Structure 1
Amino acid sequence: MVTARRQSHPRPQTLARRREILEAAAEIFGSKGYTNGTLSDIAEQVNMTHPGILHHFGSKDQLLMEVLRFRDETDVQNLDGQHIPDGIDFFRHLVTTAFTNAQRAGIVQAFVVLSAESVTDDHPARDFFMDRYRTLRAEARHAFEVICAERGMVPPDTVALASAAILAVMDGLQVQWLLDPSDVDLAKASEFAIEAIVASVLEPRGSILPRDHPSA
């Protein structure tokens, strides 16, 4: 008779310690960047040793990926099934995320710094961010398609452009807000931009800007 191996689960103390390390790593990477932020910096933040950090995460690269996953998990932790919604609720979720981000500058800063660094050669998070943006653009396009189907309309050619633009505006506003939070209202500016872009796709009214540049 073969006895099934009992599956072990991390103890609550271990999970709490890992979360503490992730939060410290997000703060260090956000303030110093991935390259300049060291495991020793993180260890000092949580009163641990360098080997202690490696015991929980194995390597600095692995810790970075866990920080990024931790950030994304916090975005969906209060959603039904912890999944991003579809249709018009997808865009409502983006607005809600912007309002949430306005209350968590540390996490936003870590994301902004790491996403910018990821464009450099051989950065360990490059594939993560490429996949993340591809997935979000696809989810935005699908949300537009769902809304158009509900309205009995053919998705316009601007769907792909709008999907990329919404993500770009949200991320760009985060940079402006981090630099000058007293002058930039991250939540309301994001809401305004998302509503304007969604409306331009679903209720197009033509361009109000003269096109004096060559067509692509």
Structure 2
Amino acid sequence: MPDTPPRGYASGRRRRDQVVSAAFAAFGTVGYRQTSMSQIAADCGVSRAGLAHHFPTKESLLEAVLDERDRRHSLRFFEGAPGPGRDGLDHFARLVALTRANATTPGIVSLYAALSAEATDPTHPAHSYFARRYKNSREHLALAVDDLRSRGLLRDSAVDSFRLAEEIIAIMDGLQIQWLYSPRTVDMAGRLRDRLSEIIRVELPPASPASSTAL
């Protein structure tokens, strides 16, 4: 039988999760730079010292928020998925659904776009996060492309999997920036779907029902 976490540990974990959720909401609506640690502490009903116990710096809280963003996306869009290496079509469809959902959180999209550029500096607190995330994204997309190739579903069967993965990521990131400037005219999900449809020989399927359910 697994050990039961100490009561204080469980309480501390819940409070930490509350702080991350509050920061996620604040960063997504107000923006990272406009949100103060004091505001987040007030939103959670904790003291500034209590907040510092879990997150001594705003940068450490930022990293936790980025990880939480990925966790929520994973649960909402990829839980129960066959995986990119087993069903590339399904993976592409889920990416489109994820991109459509991003349009409902402009603050988080803006934060991500700004930080992904700033974090190219190896000393930036989010550098390791973005380096790891881009690496994983390239690998997953390359697996999806390889699966499509093995099933004869690529229009260009000789395409390099990793180069195409880099292109798809560039399209997604570029669309996000353009959307931030013109949210009423740039359809991120639609344009991504159009480009993916140019890559494959069959119609891209709709996302699974689970991926359209909000958390």
TM-score when normalising by structure 1? 0.74
1:209 matched residue in structure 2:
none
Letter in 2 for 1:163: A
Per the TM alignment, residue 5 of structure 1 is displaced from its structure 2 partner at its CA by 5.9
Distance 2:127 2:14 in 1: 32
1:10 matched residue in structure 2:
10
- String of CA shifts for 1:146-189, please: whole Å, max 9, x gaps: 12122398952432221101111111111111111122122212
Tell me if structure 1 keeps the 8 A contact 2:92–2:196: yes
Letter in 2 for 1:146: D
- String of CA shifts for 1:108-137, please: whole Å, max 9, x gaps: 122112212212351011111011111111
Report the CA distance shift for 1:51/1:127 in structure 2 as closer, same or farther (over 3 A): same
Distance 2:146 2:140 in 1: 10
2:140 matched residue in structure 1:
139
Letter in 1 for 2:51: I
1:210 matched residue in structure 2:
none
Within 5 Å, which residues of 2 pair with 1:162-181?
Answer: 162-181=164-183
Letter in 1 for 2:83: P
Per the TM alignment, residue 16 of structure 1 is displaced from its structure 2 partner at its CA by 5.8
Distance 1:129 1:67 in 2: 13
Distance 1:126 1:96 in 2: 27
Letter in 1 for 2:197: E
Distance 1:71 1:152 in 2: 32
Letter in 1 for 2:143: H
Pairing partner for 1:71 from 69, 72, 77: 69
Distance 1:83 1:123 in 2: 33
Per the TM alignment, residue 43 of structure 1 is displaced from its structure 2 partner at its CA by 3.4
1:91 matched residue in structure 2:
92
Report the CA distance shift for 1:183/1:81 in structure 2 as closer, same or farther (over 3 A): closer
Gaps of at least 5 residues in structure 2 are 203-215
Distance 1:162 1:173 in 2: 16
Letter in 2 for 1:68: L
1:129 matched residue in structure 2:
130
Report the CA distance shift for 1:120/1:168 in structure 2 as closer, same or farther (over 3 A): same
Per the TM alignment, residue 46 of structure 1 is displaced from its structure 2 partner at its CA by 5.0
Larger radius of gyration: 1
Distance 1:82 1:63 in 2: 29
Relative to structure 2, which stretch is displaced further, 97-106 or 145-154? 145-154
Tell me if structure 1 keeps the 8 A contact 2:37–2:58: yes
Distance 1:84 1:177 in 2: 30
Gaps of at least 5 residues in structure 1 are 204-216
Letter in 1 for 2:67: R
CA RMSD of superposed structures (Å): 3.2
Report the CA distance shift for 1:38/1:75 in structure 2 as closer, same or farther (over 3 A): same
2:191 matched residue in structure 1:
189
Letter in 2 for 1:182: R
Relative to structure 2, which stretch is displaced further, 38-47 or 54-63? 38-47
